[in-house]
Structure 1
Amino acid sequence: MTTDTRLGELDVSGLGEVDEPEFTGLTERHRRELHVHCYRMLGSFEDAEDTVQETFLRAWRRRETFAGRSTFRAWLYRIATNACLDLLARCRPEPATGGEVPWLQPYPDRLLDELPAGDADEPETVAVARETIELAYLVAVQHLAPRPRAVLILRDVLGWPAKDVAELLGDSVNSVNSALQRARAGMREHLPAERQDWTGGEEDAGTRELVRRFTEASVATDIGRLAAMLRDDVRCSMPPTPGLQVGRDAVVNDWVESGFEGMKGLRAVQTSVNRQPALAFYQWREREAAYLPLTIDVLRITGGAISEIVTFHADRFPPLGLPERLPADGTK
């Protein structure tokens, strides 16, 4: 009898008989989608890593509580959601405000690709759907209080029935439905109005050409050329550094005041995170005789123009699998 067959027949005592290596095998197949779930809840790649580990530890310790009333996958999601709520209660009792998320971190597409592509309604495919993994969605979610956030993700992203969400949260179905309506209203308040027009990470020719021109203008520190690619209502942020610029004039003024135009010795590596195009910038350091990590720009493109730039610091290069340095000839 295979492990999958046994799992479908396990009762409370049955799962308790599974040894640790076998249990690890059962949980590991769900690691990536659970990590994405925790990432949505927390907005932080690193916190999601820690919370998945905590989830697996709790699951092992509580394995005898799995009664087979739901799938093993759903049982893990319940544990993961509660682990996220516990972390938020300890570390972030208040949601984000003002359109900024200081703890926001990017999620590399190479890890999202670990889940096999399947039919649109398959759980693993839904879990990493592009429209619910882009940074603007993450920012909007982080503006919700923790419990409505959990309700929204479980109901609207994962498609859980209201009664299952109510059971997980120890609440009534009416309370869950009320929380969902509040969460949806909050999302409408914080999501871009033109969200249905996003191109996101789609590799169409227009997006590729815009990213190419943005790359060239950035390396040349040509603010005029960059400004021409921005929408009038463009937004620019740099978590965890506070400060959100809204509008082309505000963004350009910030670039000028920061001395961007005077920067020299830049190179760029194209990548993708959160199903969006991204550029990792390196700057020449004479002392090391190499180009070292500087920043990562993640772009949102709407209607053939750049509608948002989220810039991350050099500490995000390792989790994204980017080179630690580029040699003098610019090769990796």
Structure 2
Amino acid sequence: MRVTSLAEADEPRFTGLAEPHRRELHVHCYRMLGSFEDAEDAVQETFLRAWRRRETFEGRSTFRAWLYRIATNACLDLLAGSRPEPATGGEVRWLQPYPDRLLDELPAGGADEPETAAVARETIELAYVVAVQHLAPRPRAVLILRDVLGWPAKEVAELLGDSVNSVNSALQRARAGMREHLPAGRQDWTAGEPDAATRELVRRFTDASVATDIPALSAMLRDDVRFSMPPTPGVYAGRDAVVNNWVEDGFEGMKGLSGIPTSVNRQPAVAFYLWREDEGAYLPLTIDVLRVTGGEITEILTFHADRFPALGLPDRLPADQGIPTVSGEHDGLEHP
């Protein structure tokens, strides 16, 4: 049923209309901001603004499009207040992963809903999100509204209070910026669900990591592999630089690891736990998100243990769980 007016809507009715859009709005804000937590704040602000301004909705657009307009402006306001400059040098220190279990909540979209029809694997992968963060806020909004949501240039211009020519110009600049920051040969790694070879590579990566076998890990890396650990500063490019960083950090001497294969941002990942004798259990350590190209690991993004709750990962593993395979929501890889 098309919503034509909200002027007389009470809070329960408004909530009933708005809540079904929460997840897709959160994904939209996540693309804009690169941070799961900031996206949560932006969605809360969106719902608050929408409720307070409900009488301004007159049905000239869909209720969903109206919410997207508010959410986009909430993100632009947040960016103006907290991040005066976009990311540089391929480094996004505020980057956070997005759990696949929550992406699975998005409704199956129809032809009239480009966003829900295509959570667009390629536009939720971390490489895309990182590249977007290198764009200035308004071109970033234009790119996402036009290329991800499929909005006409006229509607984007109305939202931003700009001309259609300005929007088209901003889109061309944004697309050029994305080409500059996206990995080369990107179409080679957006083929869909991990195949058997990728699953096997993730298994070997997990085993070698638990064994702290750096030579075995090194053999899985492509020459131009990149490694970073947001929010810790620094991006390491090239196999030698990545391996040297691991050696300098004393990774070879780390004992008592356990790993769970999983997936985030529609990419293979491994959550690592470290044995704690005083707890009698393995406790969260880090999660490695992998980009795999042509059977080799081309990027590793490592996130800290504070991301485990949002990702729905266990807060501990029992002593008898060496290298577990977890079924259900934690395991995005189809294990035999």
TM-score range normalised by the length of the shorter chain: over 0.9
1:58 aligns with 2:49: yes
- Alignment match, 1:303: 294
In 2, Cα distance between the equivalents of 1:159 and 1:132? 13
CA RMSD of aligned residues (A): 1.4
How far does residue 17 in structure 1 lie from its aligned partner after superposition?
Answer: 1.1
Which residue is 2:270 aligned to?
279
Runs (5+) with no aligned partner, structure 1: none
- Please state how far the C-alpha of 1:81 moved relative to its aligned partner: 0.2
Match of 1:251 among 221, 228, 242: 242
Aligned-pair identity (%):
85
* Distance apart, 1:117 and its partner CA: 3.3
Aligned partner of 1:72 in structure 2 is 63
Ranges of 4+ aligned residues in structure 1 off by more than 6 Å: none
Contact 1:200 1:276 in 2 (8 A): no
In the alignment, what sits opposite 2:28? 37
Residues 200 and 35 of structure 1: is their aligned pair in 2 closer, same or farther, counting only changes over 3 Å?
A: farther
Amino acid at match of 2:114: P
Q: Describe how 1:183-262 pairs up with structure 2 within 5 A.
A: 183-199=174-190, 202-262=193-253
Q: Write the distance in 1 (CA, Å) between the matches of 2:37 and 2:218.
A: 33
Cα distance in 1 for residues equivalent to 2:208 and 2:45: 44
Structure 1 residues 121, 20: closer, same or farther in 2, change over 3 A?
Answer: closer
Opposite residue 290 of structure 1, the aligned amino acid is: A
SS of corresponding position for 2:194: coil
Inter-CA distance 223–195: structure 2 relative to 1 (3 Å threshold): same
Does structure 1 residue 291 correspond to structure 2 residue 269?
A: no
State the distance in 1 between where 2:30 and 2:106 align: 15
1:3-42 correspondence to structure 2 within 5 Å:
4-5=1-2, 7=3, 10=4, 14-42=5-33
Q: CA deviation at 1:123?
A: 2.9
Deviation at 1:139, TM superposition (A): 0.4
Shift of 1:327: 1.2
**Corresponding residue SS for 1:81:** helix
Q: 1:322 aligns with which of 299, 313, 319?
A: 313
Deviation at 1:125, TM superposition (A): 2.9
Structure 2: gaps of 5 or more residues: 327-336
User: Residue 130 in 1 paired to residue 121 in 2?
Assistant: yes
Query: Judging changes above 3 Å, is the alpha-carbon distance between structure 1 residues 277 and 191 closer, same or farther for their aligned structure 2 residues?
Result: same
Normalised by the length of structure 2, the TM-score is 0.93
CA distance in 1, matches of 2:106, 2:289: 22
Kindly indicate whether residue 178 of structure 2 is the aligned counterpart of residue 164 of structure 1.
no
- Quote the offset at 1:126 in angstroms: 4.1
Does the C-alpha gap of structure 1 residues 167 and 80 become closer, same or farther in structure 2, counting only changes over 3 Å?
same
Residue in structure 2 matched with residue 312 of structure 1 by the alignment: 303
**Count of paired positions:** 323
For 2:177, give the aligned amino acid: G
Please give the alpha-carbon distance, in whole angstroms, between the structure 2 residues aligned to 1:24 and 1:322: 29
Q: Which amino acid aligns with 1:239?
A: P
Deviates more, 1:122-131 or 1:207-216: 122-131
Q: Distance in 2 between matches of 1:95 and 1:326?
A: 39
Of 251, 261, 265, the match for 2:256? 265
Shift of the alpha carbon at 1:286?
Answer: 0.9
Aligned with 2:317: secondary structure? coil
Q: CA deviation at 1:278?
A: 0.7
What does residue 79 of structure 2 align with?
88
Q: Residue 203 of structure 1: CA displacement?
A: 2.4
Once the two structures are superposed, what CA deviation does each residue of 1:64-91 show, in whole Å capped at 9, x if it has no partner? 1112111110000000000000000000
Deviations 1:160-208 (A, max 9, x none): 0001000000001111111111101100000001100015762211111
Give yes or no for contact 1:78–1:168 (8 Å, CA) kept in 2. Answer: yes
The letter for the 2-side match of 1:63 is R
Paired letter, 1:27: A
Structure 2 letter corresponding to 1:92: R
Q: Matches of 1:24 and 1:195 in 2, distance apart?
A: 40
Partner-residue secondary structure (3-state), 2:311: coil
Measured against aligned partners, the alpha-carbon deviations of 1:145-165 in whole angstroms (never above 9, x if no partner) come to 000000000001111000100
Counterpart residue identity of residue 249, structure 1: D
